[in-house]
Amino acid sequence: MIINEVVELSRLQFALTALYHFLFVPLTLGLSFLLAIMESVYIMSSKLIYKDMTKFWGKLFGINFAMGITTGITLEFQFGTNWAYYSHYVGDVFGPLLAIEGMMAFFLESTFVGLFFFGWERLSKVQHLVVTWLLALGTSLSALWILIANGWMQYPVGAEFNYDTMRMELTSIADLFFNPIAQVKFVHTVAAGYVTGSMFVLGISAFYLLKNRDVAFARRSFRIASGFGLASVLSVIVLGDESGYTLGEVQKAKLATIEAEWETEESPASFTLFGFPNEETMTTDYAIKIPWVMGLIATRSIDEKVGGIKSILENNRERIKSGMIAYAYLQKLRQDNQDSKAKSAFEAHKDDLGYGLLLKRYTDKVVDATPAQIEEATRHSIPKVAPIFWTFRGMVLCGFMMLFIFAASFYYNTKRTAHKQRWLLRLAFYGIPLPWIASELGWVVAEYGRQPWTIAGILPTHLSVSSVDVGQLYLSLAGFFVFYTVLLVIELFLMIKYVRMGPSSLHTGRYHFEQDEVNHV
Amino acid sequence: MFDFETLRIIWWAILIFLVCGFAVMDGFDLGIGMLLPFLGKTDDERRVMLNTIGPTWEGNQTWLVTLGGISFGAWSLVYATFFSGLYTGMLVLLFGLFLRPVGFDYRSKLANPRWRSAWDWALFVGGAVPSVVLSLAAGNLIMGLPFQIDSDLRSTYSGSFWDLFQPFALLCVLVGVSLMCLHGAVFLHWRTEAALAERARRVILWSSLVFTVSFIAAGVWVAIGLDGYRITSAIDTITIANLSSKTVSKENGLWLANYSTYPWLRLSPLLATIGAGLVIFLSSRRYTGWAFLMSGLVVICVIVTAAGSMFPFIMPSSTSPTSSLTVWDSSASHYTLQFLFFATVLMMPIVMAYTAWVYRVLRGKVTVEDIQKNRNVLY
């Protein structure tokens, strides 16, 4: 029997390390593209200031990139160390995606990042520009493969269970690659990264403008960031990944919890803007609803229904019962794989095997589950409503706040007065944390919203863990806690130091603090 | 295109290729990390050392990441059993690796000598810990690890972290660490000059000696004092064999059996034994680039020797030999191996080509003058 504490600690460790990694990834994604844009402008205009911009924002990029690399390996290791049964059970499908990510994307970014920093003297202008673009391409490609892998966890297509090897096996690469959920997730997440990079450059440039130093440098940075940021934030919002939530039952359950929609409504469903979801009574207290909106967002139509939580639970109960039958025949097939009667009976219930496995948390044998245990498993077959309801709203709120900031910056840029709007500059500066808050909340919606599954409908989280003991987990958690805290302090210290120095840190003699020195002399 | 049997042998070879790729490409980075506080007497010298590998070490470490991804995809059960079994060891390795990206990037961003010296030691740990843990793991792999796999294909490991420190495995650590130091020193000898290069040359001498003696000792130990494994039942090479259907014998000296079956395999330990001597010869004649190629070849030979002795075993189990993971019962499905094969054959040559281009762009020695000229740019 799997120890519950091992499951909970493994989840905690994965969530903490993934959220921590996700502090650095979005900035890498966005900033690498902004660097490529700035350097392109430099090549086209031959104005030295754009080269300085590429180098200065590149310095900040480097400080952040090192942390992204440091924390990224953790995640790849952790599938094996903490989620060994997961690794065995879906490695045939999930593993190759990480392998391709390494070969196609990670090599690209980590090989060219060195040349980006040290190749200025050794490469021609155009060669260096190509290197920068390859670096940016590498970061986004890396996100593509990771999100195809993640999309498969949310909506597992192109694979089938094999009872001889006791695992999922890949049946169609095309289905895996062109998983609609993966496409939506990729666009949403990468665009969110671009927003993060833009907000970072926008906010810091606003800081220089408020301090009235390096104005030419800051205005140009501000302009590029506001244009790129506006385009990106619009794609994040318009192409938000709710559109993928109608595919697959686990995604539908996620949607219902986001909305705290207990009953199936007549279409098009209304959107609950605000309220307090109540798990006990299965109602949302003080709900403020906007008619039609939800149906439109989720189904992009006015006649498709969005299923409510109660009916989803009803359906899950039936699938758990059918899954028990599948599990019983699986045991027979594991004894004798030639048993044709068991084979056909198993085939009939095979799609519900994962639901049967949900019972493993309550009884090791599955087939002897009592009605009370089935009820318990059903109740826990969807995530808790309140955390998702709130995190989703928090994320969306951050998104709209950034939309306002970018739109206003863009507007005043076209009037060439953005640098005089002190209220806007202040807003941009204090808005720097927004994309991080949104990204972290978005991760919670997507991944906590997938519970109780690691692979939706196929493999319960509870079963996915390694057979490690609690002591090892406390030790590793403590290790991560110490290392990550110290590293974060150091990273922020360096980041703030270099932000304060600004482009003077390039020691070109052209910027604020060096001018000062000259004046003092 | 390939039948399942051939494909699995190819995939075993790709796995070994990636281990070699990591050890050759990142091995000298790890070695230089270990040598950093000792060979670099001044701040400028240390910066010279760091900047010989500064722009390229990240790409080199990606071999390890890709090795992880490939073993996850092509040998899932091996990946799952190895990483979860060696849980604490893998985390220690990970914590060691943490220090490298930040060490390289942050060290020279502030001029404070205490800050820099702290990062130098962090980079030392970042070089030493992975070298030690990986060699230790390799030694234990050769001895067999205490794990068991049940009928649901869930693995349970019964040893602790401290159990890894077996005498034979410690000898393997000596082999691994001296080899990484040798490889790093040869690279430094090639890419630096003056006093630093001279100090690197001295490291080449002693590390070659330690490596050769410990490698021979490990070979003798394997021949006369260590249990090897052999599958004694019929092997089903057509499908993914049921793990528990095989029988395995565990006896002294069985790890040498492959050398009688495939006599050409003897070339590998032979070259590893004399190779370090050739490295000394080449570097004393100032063929420093060739010496580096030679030390790379020694690294490859050591890995091929270990893996070739164990074939078809990938992860033998000491407590439940029938749970041992072999080429025939722990691979991915035929379909996945096939498609991943094409992906690998398509992409790895491209990776190697642009890596070679980057090295070409960055060729030449790094000198103290370079550092002084580019104080604010270089690591």
What DSSP string runs through B229-242?
Answer: EEE-SPP--SS---
* Phi, psi dihedrals of residue B152, rounded to the nearest 5°: -85, 5
Task: With beta carbons under 8 A apart, name residues in chain A contacting B101.
Answer: 65-67, 69-70
For B:200-259, CB contacts with A below 8 A are 239-240, 242
pLDDT at A520: 45
The answer to whether B333 contacts A104, with C-beta atoms less than 8 Å apart, is: no
Tell me which chain B residues have a C-beta less than 8 angstroms from the C-beta of A91. 72-73, 76-77, 79-80, 332
Both structure tokens of B55: 């722009």
Query: Model confidence at A244, in pLDDT bands (50, 70, 90)?
Result: low
| Torsion angles phi and psi, residue B228, rounded to 5 | -105, 180
Average pLDDT taken over every residue of chain B: 93
Please name the residues between 144 and 183 in chain B that touch chain A, using a CB distance below 8 Å. 151-157
A521: confidence class by pLDDT, cuts 50, 70, 90: very low
Joined tokens for residue B323: 């749970």
Q: Find, in chain A, the residue whose alpha carbon is nearest to that of B126.
A: A70
B376/A507 Cβ within 8 A = yes
Residues 6+ positions from A441 with CB-CB distance below 8 Å: A391, A392, A394, A395, A398
- Lowest mean pLDDT of A262-276, A397-411, B74-88, name the range: A262-276
pLDDT in tens, A164-188: 899 999 999 999 999 988 888 899 9
Mean pLDDT (chain A) is 90
Nearest to B361 among A119, A165, A506 (CB): A119
Over the stretch A293-340, which tens digit does the pLDDT of each residue have? 666 666 666 666 677 888 889 999 999 999 999 999 999 998 888 888
**CB-based contact A256:A299 (threshold 8 Å):** no
Min distance B344 CA to chain A CA atoms (Å): 8
Distance CA A402, CA A405 (A): 5
How much is the pTM? 0.93
Q: Where does chain B show beta strands of DSSP type E? A: 147-149, 155-157, 227-231, 248-252, 313-315, 325-326
Per-residue model confidence (pLDDT) at position A237: 86
User: Residue A361: is its pLDDT beyond 50?
Assistant: yes
Could you give the CA distance from residue B96 to residue B128 in angstroms, rounded to a whole number?
8
In order of start, what are the domains of chain B with their CATH numbers?
Answer: 4-225+274-307+333-373 (1.20.1630)
Q: Which residues of A touch B240 (CB under 8 A)?
A: 164-165
Q: B313, B229 in Cβ contact below 8 A?
A: yes
Asked if pLDDT for residue A518 goes beyond 70, the answer is no
- Name the least confident of A270-274, A306-310, B8-12, B359-363: A270-274
Who among A69, A91, A95 is closest to B58 (CB)? A69
Q: Which residue among A169, A466, A479 places its CB closest to the CB of B84? A: A466
Q: What percent of chain A has pLDDT over 70?
A: 94
**For residue B179, how many other CB atoms are within 10 A of its CB?**
29
pLDDT beyond 50 at A114: yes
pLDDT band at B375 (very low <50, low <70, confident <90, very high): confident
User: Which of the residue ranges A284-293, A389-398, B56-65 would you say has the lowest mean pLDDT?
Assistant: A284-293
**pLDDT of A402 over the 70 cut:** yes
Q: Which of B15, B50, B34 is nearest to B181 (CA)?
A: B34
A159 SS3 class: strand
Beta bridge partners, A170, equal A159
d(C-alpha B182, C-alpha B316), whole Å: 30
Taking CB atoms and an 8 Å cut-off, how many pairs form between chains A and B? 244
Beta-carbon separation of B376 and A107 below 8 A: no
Determine the pLDDT at residue B240: 79
Tokens encoding A73: 């390996």
The pLDDT of A253-265, averaged and rounded, is 82
Position with higher pLDDT, B329 vs A267? B329
Give me the phi and psi of B352, to 5 degrees please: -70, -35
Q: Which residues of B touch A112 (CB under 8 A)?
A: 354, 358
Touching check for A432 and chain B: CB below 8 Å? no
**Which of A192-196, B67-71, B230-234, B342-346 shows the lowest mean pLDDT across its residues?**
B230-234
- What's residue A302's pLDDT? 63
Residue A302 is given by DSSP the state S
What integer is the mean pLDDT of A193-218?
A: 95
Residues 6 or more apart whose Cβ sits within 8 Å of residue B346 = none
Asked if the C-beta of B290 comes within 8 angstroms of chain A's C-beta atoms, the answer is no
Instruction: Measure Cα distances from A81 to A90, A153, A482, B80, B283 in Å.
Output: 15, 19, 19, 7, 42
CB A185 within 8 A of CB A149: no
Q: Using the beta-carbon criterion (under 8 Å), do B73 and A467 form an inter-chain contact?
A: no
Confidence of residue A457 (pLDDT cuts 50, 70, 90): very high
B278 vs chain A: nearest CA distance in angstroms?
Answer: 31
Query: How buried is A317 (Cβ within 10 angstroms: 0-12 exposed, 13-18 middle, 19+ buried)?
Result: middle
Q: What b/e string do you get for A76-115 counting C-beta neighbours within 10 Å, with b at 16 or more?
A: bbbbbbbbbbbbbbbbbbbbbbbbbbbbbbbbbbbbbbbb
Residue B351 with chain A: CB contacts under 8 Å? 103, 107-108, 111
Residue labelled with tokens 């970072």: A200
- Chain B neighbours among A 451-490 (CB < 8 Å)? 466-468, 472, 475-476, 479, 483, 487, 490
